Amino acid sequence: MTDHTVHTEHFDKEAGKLGMWIFLFTEMFLFGGLFLVYAVMRAQYSEDFHTAAEELNTFIGTMNTVFLLTSSMTVAMSITAIQRNERRLALFLVSLTLLLAMLFMVDKYFEWSHEFEYGVYPGSDVLKNMPHGELLFFGLYFMMTGLHALHVFVGMILLTINFIRIRKGSINQENFLLLENSGLYWHLVDLIWIFLFPLLYLVS
């Protein structure tokens, strides 16, 4: 391998990392804007926000926090494993991350189903008849948790692609940029939830 080839590969890796960091910053601005709107509305309708938050299931929110924090650890460990050329361990850890992500989504499904059962969903008559502050809370709740769930789903697709490529050997000790970038994306998903959990579930 020539020095020119090595330099080119190094440049491509650095460019790939930089591109991912730029993407992550844009995502942070997106959720940052939502957090800002939430803060303004909460300051204006503090009592209504507290009342509405009591309807959420704190236990499910806590379990989802545990799932995501653990998955952040397992995806980081999978990167270390592939760097050490421990392919089977990397596959196991990516699989475990996917399982934890799936548990998060199942929990979210049951939580949303509970809200829908009581008629609390966007556009429902129950929601429209609530005080304005509670209406705003649930609007932000569904928007932020729904957007976050979409990011979790995208992350699961990325992790599945990584799993397949690790099995095929295209992600290995020498070439693991995709797994590394996917890990960064997954850490962002976890970080966003760390902010969402206390804002939505611990308001009361």
Note whether 152 and 75 are within 8 A (CB).
Answer: no
CA distances in angstroms from 59 to 45, 56, 121, 197, listed in the order given: 25, 9, 20, 11
Sign of dihedral through CA atoms 124, 201, 148, 156? Answer: negative
Q: What mean pLDDT is predicted for residues 83-106?
A: 96
Weakest mean pLDDT among 24-28, 33-37, 78-82, 190-194: 24-28
Q: Which residues contact 19 (CB under 8 A, 6 or more apart)?
A: none
Q: Which of the four pLDDT bands, split at 50, 70 and 90, describes residue 117?
A: confident
Residue 84 belongs to domain spanning:
3-201
pLDDT, mean over the chain: 87
pLDDT value, residue 7: 45
- Whole-angstrom distance, CA of residue 59 vs CA of residue 51: 17
Give the CATH number of the domain where residue 65 resides: 1.20.120.80
Q: Which of the four pLDDT bands, split at 50, 70 and 90, describes residue 68?
A: very high
Residue 51, pLDDT above cutoff 50: yes
- Whole-angstrom distance, CA of residue 107 vs CA of residue 193: 14
pTM: 0.86
Residue 188, pLDDT above cutoff 70: yes
Q: Which of the four pLDDT bands, split at 50, 70 and 90, describes residue 64?
A: very high
Note whether 45 and 132 are within 8 A (CB).
Answer: yes
Q: What mean pLDDT is predicted for residues 17-40?
A: 83
Tell me how many domains the chain contains.
1
Q: 180 or 11, which is more confident?
A: 180
Half-sphere exposure of 200 (CA within 13 A, CB side): 28
